[in-house]
Amino acid sequence: MKVGIWIRVSTEDQARGESPANHTCRAQMYAGSKGWQVTEIYDLSGVSGKDVLEHPEAKRMMSDVKAGRIKSLIFSKLARLARNTRQLLEIAEFFKNNDANLVSLEESIDTSTPAGRLLYTVIGALAQWEREEISARISASVPIRAKLGKHTGGQGPFGYHWVDGKLIPNPAEATIVSRIYELYLETGKVLTACNRLAKEGFRARRSEFSPRTLKYILSDPVNKGERRANYSKQNCGKLEFKKAEDWVVFAVEPIIDGTVWERANQLLGDTRLRFTADRSAPKQGKYMFSGLLVCACGGGKMYCYPFPGMTVTRYTCRACKTKVTEDAVEKSLQYLLHRVSLAPENLCGDSGSELKLKDKQGRLGLLGKELKNINKKIDTLVELFGDNRIDQETFTSRFDPLTVRRDAINKEMPRLQGEIDFIKSEETGRQYVVSQVMTLAALWQELTYEARQEIVREIVERIEVGKESLNFVIHHISNLNQKDGETLADFPI
């Protein structure tokens, strides 16, 4: 995989000895441990965090991510990438949308791993929550303004416009709206009405009329004098209707007669009944546990086979016909994740990795102390030579070996730090999954179905389904089984 390295070392950090070369070497060692190829280095040394995203190097990096020239960006720590949480959320969403990864060495975050991808999901959920909070505050004023008949935003539906704070018919567009109803009732077909409008030279505000636009105009009750407000909202990009008691309806001047509107919408309803399939069940392949459930009989993976009128999502083994409901699996997962947070003995720590980490950290600490002593000795030699207390030959014979050893340590420490970063990232993956368990359990019901589905796919490797038990295999965590005596009796199968 081709990756880039992000170097941003402040002037203060450079004064403390954290040179861009050391950061580059450390990142290169991490990439080498992963088997990645470093193809780009973005050097923003000394650049203020306030202006970082406007810097040409930052723009070059984002262009490379969009073009797919790099698939991961390695940097020393999150503070060197973004100046605040909001900016971090924006950058994380940008990388996720472009199928690229972020690697922070200091925090041991690597979004190319399951735990790192879980971080993406949590960040995305937080960003969505923040957007919804802002939207909620704005939406709170809409019912009040609507009840007062005031402008609630936008330029008004086609056929109307706002004048002095009131919604009234737009003479030029109102004529077209009347013609739309005439043509649709005459032909009985939306597409035919669109073609006739185009031939007659009638257009919508930005383009020719499409079937979707025409259906919206035909079904909008504002044309018969009933203006709706606060009746819908956006949820994950889809339009949803609010509860009827939250709607605000007020009278405006009608464009067409009410009986004409009722006839057109009766015709629209009849057409939908003829051509709209039953959509009560979600599409196949988009269920929460699709591809993760494996039957213990050896019959392979279990899938949901939807049918018209289906109200409960069930996964079925084609071999032995074992069935399990999605609700039962989801409740069991929540329960077992809660147990993980209370029982750390379920963790499958790697003692070998822990020993390696301690050994390398110990060596790094010794090298740091040795480097500090060498620098003191060099400072002393320079001071003695400057005071003419030692001659040139003595100075050189002592100074040269110290600089050789100092240079060797300066090369060895970033390499060793890169190996430590790699080991810590693997260990942090396990720890991060566990640390987020309680948070996810608490927020679970607040998350959308799509967000829960994405979290499941990032933390669950597979789920083995028995006759009366489930065995969860979680990334970084040992197999999670129900305790002795526990069954799925409490959950409908």
Question: Does 161 lie in the same domain as 98?
Answer: no
Question: Does 256 lie in the same domain as 158?
Answer: yes
Nearest to 157 by CA among 236, 219, 208, 200: 219
Distance CA 490, CA 478 (A): 24
Crossing angle of helices 211-219 and 258-275, rounded to 10°: 130
Per-residue pLDDT at 129 exceeds 60? yes
The top-scoring range by mean pLDDT among 99-103, 304-308, 438-442 is 99-103
pLDDT tens, position by position, 6-23:
888 765 555 455 678 878
427 in any annotated domain: no
430 in any annotated domain: no
In CATH, what number is assigned to the domain containing residue 269?
A: 3.90.1750.20
- The predicted structure's pLDDT at residue 137: 62
The rounded percent of the chain whose pLDDT value lies above 90 is 17
Nearest to 208 by CA among 198, 218, 199: 198
369: containing domain = 351-417
- What lies within 8 Å, CB to CB, of 462 at 6+ separation is 292, 293, 294, 473
266 in any annotated domain: yes
Question: Does 185 lie in the same domain as 264?
Answer: yes
Distance CA 174, CA 158 (A): 8
Which of 112, 130, 164 lies at the terminal end of a domain, its last residue?
Answer: 112
Which of 387, 417, 447 lies at the terminal end of a domain, its last residue?
Answer: 417
Which of 417, 445, 471 lies at the terminal end of a domain, its last residue?
Answer: 417
382 in any annotated domain: yes
Look at the chain and report how many structural domains it folds into.
3
Question: Does 171 lie in the same domain as 106?
Answer: no
pLDDT tens, position by position, 217-244:
998 898 999 887 766 666 555 667 677 7
Question: Does 267 lie in the same domain as 173?
Answer: yes
331 in any annotated domain: no
- The predicted structure's pLDDT at residue 162: 84
In CATH, what number is assigned to the domain containing residue 79?
A: 3.40.50.1390
Lowest mean pLDDT among 110-124, 181-195, 398-412: 110-124
Extract the tokens encoding 156.
């008004």
Question: Does 159 lie in the same domain as 77?
Answer: no
Q: Characterize the bridge pairing of strands 460-465 and 470-474.
A: antiparallel
- The predicted structure's pLDDT at residue 291: 85
485 in any annotated domain: no
- What lies within 8 Å, CB to CB, of 271 at 6+ separation is 190
Question: Does 166 lie in the same domain as 107?
Answer: no
Question: Does 169 lie in the same domain as 100?
Answer: no
